Structure 1
């Protein structure tokens, strides 16, 4: 086949959920937004449901519709983006639970879907989504009378355990919610790792499920093998790829693989990262182009049929470090041309 093979280890995914679930006494949900972080929401969510997750989180109502189709009616599907204009029918018909994050959304939801389940999202300092203290104080009595299923906020710096923002947001969440008789949620993956005082009634792991930081003990979930299309020898002084950005200093054997920035492999890896053949690194030579990458296989004892971008030697965070980004971005940009394989959990 002419496309890369993206293999998602569902056993590892389930093991990561169980490991995070075991870190406290709170209920453990699962964040499966962005098509299960780019790995396929249906197999990902079914695996997590089988592992024990009963409450799932997506970004927008349309993602909730896909999740509901995958899992059926007997799980909670919560929508971080809340109740947006035009979403009332979808939310009502599919039983989605919007996390209302503004006075406007509270009014919209109560008017359009009275009695329909909802949650509340509060801003404890991240200044992204959620009601600040003044807004919450204005609507809290009315909202709480309608019995929300969850009140939540989100930590800005949970991947930095010593950051003072963590304790500041924890204190603010207590100030805004202590005394209410509603389940509370503050911790995603990083918050779980901060300890039980951050976990409240429900946790919402995301990136840790998929093998990324800050859950250092996570099992890797993704491997990516790229097929070799052509092998050639270049002589000293010859250049490779667009812009002549790499020039051979010795006689070099190159493998050209079928993948590029159209498949989510950023040009920032040009001349900096390696592909792998087993335990042997094969440095990328020249620029990553739209559909093709060249790698140096001079020192391999054999000509490979494929080379790996993601494997046991190089994970999403390793790629992210080279590219100057984060593992979330590496995962969610993996393109649609890959043949995705989901060995059963």
Structure 2
């Protein structure tokens, strides 16, 4: 079988979730597992966390239904709410919680007669300028929802645009608006995403929403002592399938972008953009071969990529190749470092790993 596999370390997932909880011991932490748990497999990750997380969060009702069908019984929050009025019956049937961020969602909820009142998170736009009610209209919406028999618990939520940045100016502006509104409404808060969970205790509310940090990625521009404790959950692992000796000056791959600066040994690795590895990886993007750092040489192809292993003793057909994650010798290559070499972020790499790279789970026991 083709040697490419995405190893998923569920013990590392639990470690990272517990780290999020330790960051904010007075808060409850929703485990965000949208986008198939950032490419890690939503049901498997939910099952690994179901004894720890009081609730899960997803983007849409399809993701929530898949978890219910897999046996997950915890509350599941629809972070973008419903997309059509007829979804509200499914929300009622399955006990989902919903965000509301636009007037038609509010109107639908106010007109509904669910079997049980529905927990609601009112989303306000404090500066992200994406989803949510304007700050100055939030109080009126809050009053409507508070009085509605179709609504159970009510929380105030928002999303930070720059919590990952070292410069906290814009974050502080958003936070000040939200603190003022929360005092006015006496509202419980859900504000903190992964970077705010890790770096901004002022944003820790009744609930936090750790996402990418659960999977071992550091979302901060500047790492801190806490982010250094994150453990990689996905290891994208393959093997060398061929070796080529090149003379100085000979090219490798499409367009001959990379040319050997000396007599070189080039390894062909079973992984390419057809598996989700980013085609924009530049020459020099790091990989681990037998636990030793080396570099991509040449453009990534659909099914293969090429690596300069001239300085890797013992490199041979079948040698272990780590595209990101943890090697057998314990060496770690951060997905964040690989993402920077692709001019992107870890989110796109993790969610972009395609089904052709099978997920292999381990560490199921606590």
Superimposed CA distance per residue, residues 51-105 of structure 1 (whole angstroms, 9 cap, x where no aligned partner)? x1111111111111112223433x1100111121142343233222110111111
Aligned position for 2:223: none
- The counterpart of 1:157, out of the listed 153, 162, 171, is 162
CA–CA distance in structure 1, aligned partners of residues 215 and 33 of structure 2: 10
What's 2:75 paired with? 76
Does residue 47 of the first structure (1) align with residue 48 of the second (2)? yes
Residue of structure 2 in register with 1:109 after alignment: 109
Structure 1 distance, partners of 2:195, 2:263, is: 47
What is the aligned partner in structure 1 of residue 307 from structure 2? 295
Q: Does 1:248 align with 2:260?
A: yes
Deviates most, 274-283 or 6-15:
274-283
State the Cα distance separating 1:183 from its structure 2 match.
3.0
SS of residue in 2 equivalent to 1:78: strand
Among 176, 199, 210, the alignment partner of 1:194 is 199
C-alpha distance in 2, partners of 1:113/1:332?
37
What is the distance in 1 between the residues matched to 2:21 and 2:113? 33
How is 1:1-345 mapped onto 2 (pairs within 5 angstroms)? 1-24=1-24, 25-50=26-51, 52-73=52-73, 75-85=74-84, 86-114=86-114, 115-146=117-148, 147-180=152-185, 182-213=187-218, 214=220, 215-302=227-314, 303-305=316-318, 306-310=320-324, 311=326, 312-343=331-362, 344-345=364-365
- Range with bigger deviation, 232-241 or 38-47: 232-241
Gaps of 5+ in 2: 221-226
> Do 2:5 and 2:357's aligned partners in 1 also have CA atoms closer than 8 Å?
yes
Q: CA deviation at 1:203?
A: 0.8
Secondary structure of 2:311 counterpart: coil
Greater shift, 300-309 or 10-19, is seen at 300-309
Encode CA deviations 1:299-325: one digit per residue, 9 max, x unaligned: 222215131111333111111121122
CA–CA distance in structure 1, aligned partners of residues 184 and 71 of structure 2:
34
SS in 2 for 1:216: helix
Q: Is the 8 A contact 1:103 1:135 kept in 2?
A: no
Q: Which runs of 5+ in 1 are unaligned?
A: none
Q: Report if aligned partners of 1:123, 1:132 keep a CA contact under 8 Å in 2.
A: yes
Q: Using a 3 Å threshold, how does the CA distance of structure 1 residues 125 and 280 change in structure 2: closer, same or farther?
A: same
2: CA distance, partners of 1:178 / 1:304: 64
Please, what TM-score do these two structures have when normalized by structure 1?
A: 0.93
With normalisation by structure 2, the TM-score equals: 0.88
Q: What is the CA–CA distance in structure 2 between the aligned matches of 1:28 and 1:143, rounded to whole Å?
A: 24
Q: Per-residue CA shift, 1:264-292, capped at 9, x if unaligned?
A: 21122131313212332232111101111
In terms of mean alpha carbon deviation, does 284-293 or 249-258 score higher? 249-258
Contact in 1 for aligned 2:50/2:72 (Cα 8 Å): no
- Is the contact made by 2:282 and 2:342 (CA closer than 8 Å) also made in structure 1? no
Deviation at 1:209, TM superposition (A): 0.9
Given that residues 263 and 291 in structure 1 are in contact (C-alpha distance below 8 angstroms), is that contact kept between their aligned partners in structure 2? yes
- Cα pair distance change 1:82/1:239, threshold 3 Å: same
Cα deviation digits, residues 25-61 of structure 1 (max 9, x gap)? 11111111100010000111111222x1111111111
Q: Structure 1: how far apart are the matches of 2:139 and 2:120?
A: 18
Q: Which sits farther off after the overlay, 320-329 or 178-187?
A: 178-187
